[in-house]
Amino acid sequence: MGEMEQMKKEADGLKTQIEAARKAVADTTMSAASAAVAPAPRVQLKTRRTLKGHLAKIYAMHWATDSRLMVSASQDGKLLIWDSHSGNKINAVPLKSSWVMTCSYAPSGNLVASGGLDNMCTVYNLKTPVVKTVKELDAHTGYLACCRFLSDSEILTASGDTTCALWDIESGKQKTVFLNHVGDCMCLSLSPDMNTFISGACDSLAKLWDVRDGTCKQTFQGHTSDVNAISFFHNGNTVITGSDDCTCKMFDLRADQEVISYQDAQLNAGVTSLALSVSGRLMFAGYDDFNCNIWDTLKGEKVGVLSGHDNRVSCTGVPPDGMCVCTGSWDSFLKIWN
């Protein structure tokens, strides 16, 4: 038997063992377990702010930890910093490359980062009299799909080159490379304790990584297409994913498997983004069909919809204080709802 065939046989054997181990603990599903819980009330949120200013498709947005400021990225070649309460623009950061796909606000509020088809993650200082580029993090050989700051000195990136990386911002070097996906990495989410993070990729898998030692700890199967969106539940033990297969799924880390799927026979648009309310009871998922559906995470039922955008909802975000949900769209607007 050739080496390749041997590897495949070994892999299949191990996969069968893992499936059996997962089945052995699958004594229920989330829908069954939550049968006695009262359904979440129908949610009707109003648009409180429509943020106008971008001149092209918005690809990403991220809330600052003060729950008031937020950054948005558009292929008009700008990052805009907004005061969500007043609706005013605080800052505009011109980008060297307009093909931006992601942006992130540092927890301190001092820095923002962006990246895209330039394969780089650029970090900017918002606190200097004029916004300055701090560093261009250049080592990925594919597009930058997602980035998240751990602090002012470290940032995690997910790339179309199938790797994720942890960078030291000051030196501009990769400290750790996370290699195990076999498809473009599309999204990442840091655990509340920042010791692990989870990534979603075009290989239809989600993977859990140890931030410090670079190892992949767990792999979650279930989706049948690209995983575009991912978020840790605030308890750190559960993860929600959104995919081009039109479904979202909840995976429990300790059971090492899917516990519920959020899908609807009439829904045939891919999921682009997702965000959780502070308790985790509601999940806001943006779709290619211009809507953002609101799901009851325990029951798996749709409890509302945010309609108002005239094009794909590309990004969603709930601020740390949970006061609202923001949606960003290819129609160039951001909307704030509560």
Report 19-48 residues binding another protein (CB under 8 A).
Answer: 21-22, 24-30, 33-34, 37, 40-41, 43, 45, 48
Helix (H) or strand (E) holding 122: strand 120-125
Contact between 151 and another protein per CB under 8 A: no
Shortest spacing between CB 281 and another protein, in angstroms: 5
Shortest spacing between CB 137 and another protein, in angstroms: 14
Shortest spacing between CB 248 and another protein, in angstroms: 15
- Find the binding residues for another protein in span 156-215 (CB under 8 A): 161-163, 174-177, 179-180, 182, 214-215
Shortest spacing between CB 102 and another protein, in angstroms: 19
CB of 246 or CB of 260, closer to another protein: 260
CB of 19 or CB of 136, closer to another protein: 19
Give the torsion sign (CA, 26, 31, 36, 40): positive
Nearest to 71 by CA among 93, 47, 56, 86: 93
How many residues sit close enough to another protein to count as binding (CB under 8 A)? 78
- CA 299, 303, 308 angle in degrees (round to 5)? 145
Shortest spacing between CB 336 and another protein, in angstroms: 6
Query: Contacting another protein (CB under 8 A), which of 98, 125, 219, 263?
Result: 219
Where do we find the tokens 């999921």?
271
- Find the binding residues for another protein in span 64-123 (CB under 8 A): 68, 84-87
- Find the binding residues for another protein in span 272-331 (CB under 8 A): 277-282, 297-298, 318, 322-325
Q: How many residues does the chain have?
A: 338
User: Binding marks (x or -) toward another protein, 230..259, rule CB under 8 A?
Assistant: ---xxx-xx-------------x-xxxx-x
Longest distance between any two alpha carbons in the chain, whole Å: 68
CB of 195 or CB of 268, closer to another protein: 195
Where do we find the tokens 């069968």?
16
CB of 48 or CB of 190, closer to another protein: 48
* Residue 107 half-sphere exposure toward CB, CA atoms < 13 A: 12
Three-state DSSP state, 263? coil
CB of 284 or CB of 330, closer to another protein: 284
According to DSSP, the residues that pair with 156 across neighbouring strands are: 148, 166
Alpha helix ranges (H) inside the chain: 3-25, 30-33
CB of 270 or CB of 328, closer to another protein: 328
Q: Which two tokens stand for residue 112?
A: 């923002």
Three-state DSSP state, 290? coil
Nearest to 113 by CA among 83, 66, 53, 71: 71
Q: What Rg do the C-alpha atoms of the chain give, in angstroms?
A: 20
CB of 204 or CB of 277, closer to another protein: 277
